[in-house]
Structure 1
Amino acid sequence: MAPKDEGGCYRREVKLPYDSWRLGFGTPDYMEVWIETADAVDVRDRAFRRAMSGIASTQSRKNLKGNPRGWPQRPGAGAGKQVLGADLPRLIYVRWQSLAEPQTYEAYIVIPESTRRAMLKGEKTYCAFDDKWITGYRDMLTVGLAPGGVTRVWLMGACLAPIDVARVQGTVVKKGPYGGKASGYYRPPNEASRAYIEKYGIPYDSW
């Protein structure tokens, strides 16, 4: 079950060095995902329901030259949104449809205290895009979603190396898509993803 909303007014106790942090989602190549909901809970136990939903970032090359095995050393930010008004994250709940299988999963991702400390730490870093040195912050949580219910989480920031946060094994949602309200229907993967899976299968052991 997803975390419930907390009522009442809200005031941040510790001022963050940025206006908000970002929650993004991606998948291995060809392994499309539909996110039913991604809810964030901050350190003050405030729940931000549907902080993200919809399609996770996926590359599906038509020439089948993509490689879905494993995770990249420097993952992209993924498809996502800013979590406005939130303090530092304590928990991420995500429920998603793995269209490659198809199967529905959910996972509770606990954010370690060390990750929150890193989100507050500014680091001098060189940005090649701007050709200048900046004080950067890791203000992006990126979640990778893979078949078999595997989740992988990184903490990222512009021009800063990503930090590996966690690997969490999700569980099957037995009622299926949308808690059984979709009559078991899964949207089929796109043409390139279908072609890749039919030819090479799903590399479950690589994540």
Structure 2
Amino acid sequence: MPISKLNRLAVLALLSLLNACGTNSYGATLPYDAWRLGFFAPNYMEVWIETANVIDINDRIFRRAMSGVAAVGSPPNLRGNPKGWPKKPGDGKGKHVFGADLPQLIYVRWQSLAEPQTYEAFIEIPDAMRQKMLEGGNTYCKASKFWLMDHRNNVAIGLAPGGIAKTWIMGTCLDAIEVSRVQGTVAPKGPYEGYSNGLYRDLDPEAKAYIDKFGIPFDSW
């Protein structure tokens, strides 16, 4: 029986004391070797992911399934547009979550370097979306110009200033399906769980120049 949401939150709060199980046989139930967890941010709105932890449908915990930088564009000469989300989002920068079954809950804590501020969010993957992750299809891929069997085994999460986390599932060639838009909360301990004395990583010069000139379009995400 799946654990309650309250218990899941309690488990996630104690993840720093637990070890993720990196090898198991649950992934063998999937029609692919692993699903992928990726992150991206709007142009210039750089993000540093402190941790992304996963609970799969068997209530197994995968700590730090992803961490580090999210994919972000910084077009030269301030020509990029960070407003809103792309109609066809990419799968972001990420990792395959080997050994996991389908995800039921993802916890992410990240630094929005554009502000700067540290946020955390709990992202539930509904059963209907998990079923979509299992459905395959013989799809024509425009990029390769081949027909292939594809699945929506990519979970892509866009992280934006203000603590917004928007999630899609997509395949290599199958179109993205929106899962949810979650409003995160400010992480009470600040960056690096309080171990950096409130200090953040520096913005890329191009990102800093854009934000200094145009600001942050908070209401667009």
Instruction: Provide TM-score, normalisation by structure 2.
Output: 0.89
Distance apart, 1:134 and its partner CA: 1.7
Match of 2:122 in 1: 108
Report the AA paired with residue 92 of structure 1.
Answer: I
Distance 1:2 1:193, change over 3 A: farther
Deviant stretches of 4+, over 2 Å: 1-11
Structure 1 SS opposite 2:147: strand
Q: 1: CA distance between counterparts of 2:23 and 2:47?
A: 35
Give the Cα separation in 1 of the matches to 2:212 and 2:194.
Answer: 27
Match of 2:75 in 1: 61
Partner-residue secondary structure (3-state), 1:35? strand
Kindly provide the CA deviation profile for residues 1-47 of structure 1, in whole angstroms up to 9, marking residues without a partner as x.
26455779843287111000000000000000000000111000111
> What are the ranges of 5 or more consecutive residues in structure 2 without an aligned counterpart?
1-12
Quickly say closer, same or farther: Cα 1:37–1:8, change in 2 above 3 A.
Answer: closer
SS at structure 2 position matched to 1:166 = strand
CA distance in 1, matches of 2:140, 2:31: 19
Question: Would you say 1:46 and 2:60 are equivalent positions?
Answer: yes
CA 1:2 to 1:60, structure 2 compared with 1: closer, same or farther past 3 Å? farther
Using the aligned pairs only, state the percent identity: 57
User: Cα–Cα, structure 1 residues 143 and 2, in superposed 2: closer, same or farther, change >3 Å?
Assistant: farther
In the alignment, the residues of structure 2 paired with residue 2 and residue 198 of structure 1 have an alpha-carbon distance, to the nearest angstrom, of 38
Helix, strand or coil: the match of 2:78?
A: coil
The structure 2 residue matched to 1:129, chosen from 124, 130, 143, is 143
What is the alpha-carbon distance in structure 1 between the residues aligned to residue 24 and residue 42 of structure 2?
37
2:103 is the alignment partner of 1:89: yes
Distance 1:8 1:29 in 2: 33
- Structure (1/2) with the larger helix percentage: 2
Q: Distance in 1 between matches of 2:25 and 2:138?
A: 30
Aligned length: 207
Deviation, structure 1 residue 129 = 2.7
Q: Which among 190, 203, 206 is matched to residue 217 of structure 2?
A: 203
Measured in 1, the distance between the counterparts of 2:78 and 2:40 equals: 18
Q: Distance in 2 between matches of 1:177 and 1:143?
A: 20
- Amino acid in structure 1 at the alignment position of 2:210: Y
For residue 182 of structure 2, the aligned residue among 168, 185, 202 is 168
CA distance in 1, matches of 2:163, 2:185: 6
- In the superposition, relative to structure 1, how do residues 6 and 81 fare at CA in structure 2: closer, same or farther (>3 Å)? closer
> 150, 153, 161: which is aligned to 1:147?
161
TM-score (norm 1): 0.95
Give the match for residue 39 of structure 2. 25
Structure 1 unaligned regions, length at least 5: none
Label 1:48 to 1:13 Cα distance change in 2 as closer, same or farther (>3 A).
closer
